[in-house]
Structure 1
């Protein structure tokens, strides 16, 4: 789950950073997590766009590249596990595993203006809206309160 969240959040609109802006930063991200081959950057961008689109983000371009990765089933330790020699395969393997387990629908994108971070909704009724109540949730609630207060003072 953590690998998938980290991958979905390789772009941070708040800071204006994107790990996928350069092959060097992507290779460093992959090496830091020991994920094997970094792969083609265009394919990696397409995978991220497809995964984020499946969480509700509008597509960045009308016809994104196909999102694929090579995944194998490893039985070397007696328990079947999904494995890949490449980073994209590892990410897609994690996503597939979570979908099979029924956890995919708990992955969401923060609805706060300017955020869009992916997060895992651990709430009982799956109703969480923000990545962080302390940051985005607080900011949104304060903004809504100010708008209501302003509307009351105008009338």
Structure 2
């Protein structure tokens, strides 16, 4: 797995802090939840993913920025409109800065919100590199789970063929064969 894909996995996990799934599977009812309900929850998530170091206290404004970024990125994944991604990143300014490691330039975010800059930089780099088009929301209306599409042609629609793909294909089959 390339570094860009590994980095997008963290963005995928960030997007999935909002779980909108609302379906039954094998008799179990899944109800969604929001993993970013408090400053403490955001801090714990960022620390778990090594995105913010100890000693930096987050504020309510940081939580609001994180939730706005998540909402904007999820909205950006709902269509092929690149302007949506640009709008999602607009509140998080990006600049080119010297990269000491390569001697070239790299994108750097400086939003003032600890931990979010890495996510913003990852999204911007993946957009520039073409990997962003592989990050998608499940096409199932009662799921909307973010996933990285590993299909050969990039045409995957479901977070899981075993769950969402199967449920939706079964529904379509039943509709076609209804009397």
Residues matched between the structures, number:
145
* SS of corresponding position for 2:136: strand
Instruction: Tell whether the 8 Å contact from 1:3 to 1:94 is kept in structure 2 after alignment.
Output: no
1:142 pairs with 2:149: no
C-alpha distance after superposition, 1:57-85 (max 9, x if no partner):
7xxxxxx9x63167775734446665678
| Equivalent residue for 2:158, pick from 113, 130, 145 | 130
Structure-2 residue corresponding to 1:116: 144
Distance 2:107 2:78 in 1: 26
The alignment's C-alpha RMSD in Å is: 2.7
Give the TM-score taking structure 1 as reference length: 0.78
Give the TM-score taking structure 2 as reference length: 0.69
1:21 pairs with 2:43: no
Give the CA deviation at 1:97: 1.0
Residue segments in structure 2 that go unaligned for 5+ positions in a row: 1-7, 22-30, 80-87
Distance 2:98 2:34 in 1: 32
Structure-1 residue corresponding to 2:73: 51
Displacement over 4 Å in runs of 4+: 69-74, 78-85
Residue segments in structure 1 that go unaligned for 5+ positions in a row: 58-63
Cα distance change on mapping 1:72 and 1:17 into 2, 3 Å: farther
Cα distance change on mapping 1:31 and 1:83 into 2, 3 Å: farther
Distance 1:127 1:20 in 2: 30
